[in-house]
Amino acid sequence: MQRLKAVTDILAWSAGLIVLVVVVYYVWHAMHEPRVNAAPEDRYHHALEMWLDGDLIGATEMLSDLVHDHPASIDPFLQLGNLLRLQGDPGRAAVLHRGLTVRTDLTRPKKVTVGLSLVDDLLDLHKWEDAKTVLDTLVRDASGKSRYWKARFRHWHGMDNKPEAARCLKNGIKAAPETDRPWFTQAYASYQLDRAMLHVRAGEFSEAGPRLKDLKKIPEAQTRVTLVRAMLAAFDNNPAEALTLASQDLFDSPQELSLFLPVLQHVLLASGQYSRTVPILERACQSEHAPPSLWVDLALLYEKLGERGKALRLLESKTGQGGLTPDEAAPMLKILVNDDPSTDFSRIWSVLDMPVENHNWRCTVCARHEDDIRWFCPQCHSFDSYEARPETLSGGSVT
């Protein structure tokens, strides 16, 4: 009897536990999953919350169910299309958004929003003419919106009409909401600087200057303007002008100066004026902002001119200032170690991965690579997104 009672108690306890688990499950499910018959507004807002939380797939599924259950809705259709485009399906997004454009129950502001979403779909599909047609219909109601001018810019750049693309950014400075105008100002400067630098590297010197003409009104762009002008002078075999520009404006801008000096050194070497680089580097190295790479550049120049003692004293003087790592000093170390290749140090050196002077520029948004600095990414249309990534060579083969 006692054994039977114990078994009965266990069964009763187990049944109670099962009931408790079921109740907890349904309570949790009710709290976290909206019921199918929940209000459409609640389901829509829940989908947006999932989107904000990063659950794009879940948000897409919920919006898909919502538009299926309520085909007369507007915002769920609009946001479902935007989500599909973000997930790499602009074709389906365009079908949804184009269907909304023919709805007769849209307010004028909603027509603008839907139209601009359709334009984004078409731009992602590279349907440039279709995008232009839609943008032309929106100009009256949307020309005060930042999104309109950004779409116009993407359209003209996609059509390889860079003057019109630049004009759209310039129009945004005047027409966009006040809070967005600084963005358009910076974007316009970066786009024009990028165009100018491409002209310089292509040897199209007469085309570079006009790109810089109206950037004088943008104080934040002046250092880069000077850099491009100095590059233009250097590539155009005018080292005296390049030297003048560098001495006037680039010494307190180490990033721009580090881009310019290799070009200038090459030009001066080719023109027989290589020693004129010394005073530029000496003055630059005195700046508190001078990067260690400039110290090494000057030391290498001293070495080339037969002044090794001066080179060593320069590097010794930088003790404790930070940044003079083995990687930075590698070009000078290679020269020194080659004087006695029989040492154990030389044996280890020969198997190291060493940096080279050239940099690989990578867009931090889309990871596109370039050999030279860019201020506009033609792939993802980001501005000022490139950063330098040093390349390496195996075997200590730095030259």
* pLDDT value at residue 33: 53
* pLDDT value at residue 256: 81
Query: Residue 82 — φ and ψ, nearest 5°?
Result: -60, -40
383 secondary structure, DSSP code: B
| Of 231, 266, 235, 237, nearest in space to 250 by CA | 231
pLDDT in tens, 265-277: 677 666 666 666 6
Model confidence pTM above 0.75: no
Alpha-carbon separation of residue 186 from 66, 103, 173, 221, 369 (angstroms): 41, 38, 9, 8, 22
Res. 21: pLDDT tops 50? no
Res. 27: pLDDT tops 50? no
- Structural domains of the chain sorted by starting position, each given as residue range(s) with its CATH number in brackets: 41-101+108-124 (1.25.40.10), 326-399 (no CATH)
Average pLDDT value over all residues in the chain: 83
pLDDT in tens, 235-271: 888 877 887 787 777 777 777 877 887 777 677 666 6
* pLDDT value at residue 340: 76
- Give alpha helix (H) positions in the chain: 2-32, 40-52, 56-69, 75-86, 90-101, 108-124, 128-142, 146-158, 162-175, 181-201, 205-212, 222-235, 239-249, 254-270, 277-285, 292-304, 308-317, 326-337, 344-349
Residue with more model confidence, 336 or 182: 182
- Segment 339-366 shows an average pLDDT of 74
pLDDT in tens, 291-348: 787 788 888 888 888 889 988 898 888 888 778 888 788 888 888 888 877 787 777 7
Tell me the three-class secondary structure of 162-195, residue by residue: HHHHHHHHHHHHHHCCHHHHHHHHHHHHHHHHHH
* pLDDT value at residue 41: 85
pLDDT in tens, 49-87: 989 898 989 999 999 999 898 988 999 999 999 999 999
Res. 157: pLDDT tops 90? yes
Q: CA 376, CA 192: separation in Å to the nearest integer?
A: 9
299 secondary structure, DSSP code: H
Q: CA 318, CA 273: separation in Å to the nearest integer?
A: 27
Res. 119: pLDDT tops 50? yes
* pLDDT value at residue 23: 45
Q: Count of alpha carbons within 13 Å of 379, Cβ hemisphere only?
A: 12
Alpha-carbon separation of residue 209 from 200, 229, 233, 378 (angstroms): 9, 8, 11, 21
- What one-letter code names the amino acid at 335? I
> Which residues, 6+ apart, have CB-to-CB distance to 223 below 8 Å?
249, 250, 253, 256
Residue with more model confidence, 132 or 398: 132
Q: CA 24, CA 71: separation in Å to the nearest integer?
A: 35
SS3 342: coil
Specify whether the CB–CB gap between 57 and 88 falls below 8 A. no
* pLDDT value at residue 89: 95
Angle at 193 between CA 187 and CA 196, to 5 degrees: 145
Beta 386-394 vs 353-363: how paired, if at all?
antiparallel
Residue 147: how many other CB atoms lie within 10 Å: 16
**Among 173-182, 231-240, 269-278, which is the least confidently predicted range?**
269-278
